[in-house]
Amino acid sequence: MTSLILLLSFLFLLTGVFIFRKLWLGALGAVIIVLVSKFSFSAASKAVYYELSNAMIIGTELILLIFGAYLFYNILSAYKHFILFTESVSIISSRISLAIILCFFMGSFMEGIAGFGIPALLIAPLMITVGFKPVTAIVLPLAATITAVLFGALGRPLRIGLGINEPDEVVTITIILNAMPALVIPFMLTYLLSKTEQIKINWKKEWKTVLGAGVCFYVPFSLTAMLSLEFPSAIAGIAGLLLFVFVFIPTKEKISGRIWWNTFSPYLFFIVLFLSFRFLAQDTLISFASGIKQVSIYQPGIIFIIASILVLFVLNQGHFAKHFLSLLKVSLLKIWLPAVTILLLISFTQLIAKSFSELVSSLTASMSSWQIMAQPLIGISGSFITGSATMSNLLFAGSLNTTALGQKPLFMSLLHTGGAIGNAISLQNIIMVKSVIPDNISESRILKFNLPIIGIYVVLVLISTLIYVR
């Protein structure tokens, strides 16, 4: 595939994103251009079959996960499962602590369970309910989950995006490079809060609480990451939240143990199911033709659907089938467009992966002294365009096979970190969260708040990198 075809395909993708504000349309145009180019060479038709087959397998795994997670949440929400928790946290007098609880901890928990823009979509209405301004309800949830996106929905950015299935050197480096930013994110959220809510922050009074939030998150996050790819974000979200409330929230404002249990017990039930299925079926693979990705019957999305059915059976007092079909329809209507977009984007990344990696390798080889700085920026651009760290990794990770010499784990970690950072300004995520907020807030206004945040995060990552390599 020529550089001209790659350029044209990306041009169509960007036109869909920036001109028509429809990512799926840009992705469709890009796929058509690449397919026309490939089928003009008869020898390429077999390769296209393998590439599209792998795209369908990867896409189906991701769509199952998104659908299952959203169905699970919808069932809980339909039975007003989160109302008591929202009412309980709304009595917390500190707006900083409240924003950190909802955006940083709850957002990270949701990111670890669902990902793909869903956390901000779910947290934003809660922010409105407890009295935050619409712009705050959009900007803070997008920025708050940057670190959590590193592991995303049950480790998918690493497992699917980079092909990493167990904690390894890349994971260790990622945890080290993101330590400083993870501790600083609550400070950045507090700064954002002061701008969006137009309030003055007493930093001398608040700094211990804000720093404590970072510590409460990062400790369980890093410890869990050494053992599992699936749960660092979810465990850091819930364990960090419990620690933060216990240490930093006044006794009279603390949430009772019964409310904690009622709120999170369905998710604990899911985790038990998940671990059971993983133990029993992780090594059971379905094989296809040579060159096509094997499929594990252990699929988190299917486990979410099973958990949804069981939870609804417990909550429902009658008309089980009717209620389930109704919630199934609502969930399908909500995710069908993101599902189509994901399939198109994965098809695009699979079709261009080889040619694109060769092009990026040739370009970066001529700027070796700048390669370290380039990796996070490349990752940011990937998730900004595609809306996902997983997609960004799928798009760019192939270029690392022929670059970086002996530093591939470091470069892979930086690329992956960039993909996580870019989620804060992803147009797809912004459009998704805007869909549940009544006010029409422009994308440019949202970017104006979050661009400085990702700039600071990148600088902190690069400083950490320089310290690490020395």
User: In the prediction, which pLDDT does 366 show?
Assistant: 59
User: In the prediction, which pLDDT does 406 show?
Assistant: 57
User: In the prediction, which pLDDT does 296 show?
Assistant: 77
Among 73-87, 127-141, 353-367, the minimum mean pLDDT is found in 353-367
Q: What share of the chain is helix, strand, coil (3-state, %, to 5)?
A: 80, 0, 20
Name the range with the highest mean pLDDT among 2-16, 99-113, 346-360: 99-113
Q: Residue 461's closest CA among 412, 417, 396?
A: 417
Over residues 10-28, the mean pLDDT reads 84
**pTM of the predicted structure, to 2 decimals:** 0.83
User: In the prediction, which pLDDT does 339 show?
Assistant: 85
User: In the prediction, which pLDDT does 430 show?
Assistant: 84
Q: CB within 8 A of 44, min separation 6: which ones?
A: 38
Quick one: pLDDT band at residue 369, thresholds 50, 70, 90? low
pLDDT above 80 (res 432):
no
Per DSSP, 387 falls in state S
User: In the prediction, which pLDDT does 196 show?
Assistant: 93
User: In the prediction, which pLDDT does 455 show?
Assistant: 95
User: What is the rounded distance in angstroms from the CA atom of residue 193 to the CA atom of residue 101?
Assistant: 13
Quick one: pLDDT band at residue 363, thresholds 50, 70, 90? low
Q: CB within 8 A of 82, min separation 6: which ones?
A: 76, 126, 263
Over residues 68-97, the mean pLDDT reads 85
User: In the prediction, which pLDDT does 149 show?
Assistant: 95
Tokens of 261: 């249990």
CA angle 370, 375, 378 (to 5 degrees): 115
- Dump pLDDT digits (tens) for 370-382: 777 888 998 998 8
User: What is the rounded distance in angstroms from the CA atom of residue 177 to the CA atom of residue 466?
Assistant: 10
Quick one: pLDDT band at residue 78, thresholds 50, 70, 90? confident
- Dump pLDDT digits (tens) for 181-227: 999 999 999 999 999 999 999 999 999 999 999 999 999 999 999 99
